[in-house]
Amino acid sequence: MTLGQALILYFAGVAAGFVNTVAGGGSAITVPILVEMVGATIANGTNRVAVLLANITAGASFAKGGAVDWPAVARLLPSIMIGAGLGALIAANTPAEGMRTVFGLVLLIVAGSVLVKPSRWLTETEQRLTGPWRHVVFFLIGVYGGFVQVGVGFFLLAGLVLGGGFNLVTGNAAKVILIAGYTTLALVIFAGAAQVDLGLGLVLAAGNSTGALISSRLALARGAGWVRWFLIVAAIAAALRMFLA
């Protein structure tokens, strides 16, 4: 790893950490850079080092501010972790070219998701997901997060806010705790498959944690707005590069 690569990774990590904490999709910034450096499969595993540390940082900040509904998080954690374990196992056994195609498709999905302004997420809503359906939904989100991670924040916020009755602040707090929990398991699986470059992951994590800390201390609704168009352009550009390379 050269100094130039380290600097690119660090500042990309800052941007991704900020974006991931206020909404989701930050991995659309970092994964394409990692793919160019180490290939798609190792990029998928290495990115989890940064995701884990950034979400631990953000989670600690939210917890200090009293924004984490721990009982609600505890009820959702088993379902999402089982799903994430399955998703990570599938990803660890997917060939590099297949993962590159998956990343390209997911980046386009992320770009489309960002177009939907989450204005209805700013207030608490009636809890719509109850009983077994809640566990099914969060299991499926876990499968996606364990498999590819990119953009999982959007799906989690939709599940937590539109389905679980959280507002944007408490939903983001629950989101980062849940991601930290299942990413721990996913990272173990990718490391066991020799798909983690720890050096690159730690540099990226330093940037991610910085961005997450800044983001979690700002007004989350205001912070989510200005990154939308940047994410759309970055995700589409990265997707085109993956398909055409």
Displacement of CA 85 from its chain's centroid (Å):
15
Q: Range with the lowest mean pLDDT among 17-26, 118-127, 193-202?
A: 118-127
Tell me which residue has tokens 């997917």.
94
pLDDT recorded at residue 21: 64
| Angstrom distance (rounded) from CA 130 to CA 133 | 6
User: In this predicted model, what pLDDT tens digit does every residue of 165-179 receive, in sequence order?
Assistant: 777 778 888 998 999
**Cβ proximity of 149 and 27 under 8 Å:** yes
pTM of the model: 0.80
Whose CA is closest to 83, among 134, 7, 157, 120? 134
Q: What angle do CA 212, 128, 132 make, to 5 degrees?
A: 95
Give me the mean pLDDT over the 8-12 stretch: 91
User: In this predicted model, what pLDDT tens digit does every residue of 222-241 receive, in sequence order?
Assistant: 544 555 565 566 667 767 76
**Cβ proximity of 227 and 19 under 8 Å:** yes
pLDDT recorded at residue 180: 94
pLDDT recorded at residue 122: 46
Q: How many CB atoms lie within 10 A of CB 164?
A: 27
Q: To the nearest whole percent, how much of the chain has pLDDT over 90?
A: 34
- What is the pLDDT confidence band of residue 76, given thresholds at 50, 70 and 90? very high
Average pLDDT score over the chain? 81
**Cβ proximity of 92 and 197 under 8 Å:** no
Q: Range with the lowest mean pLDDT among 30-39, 94-103, 117-126, 194-203?
A: 117-126
Torsion sign, CA atoms 99, 104, 109, 110: positive
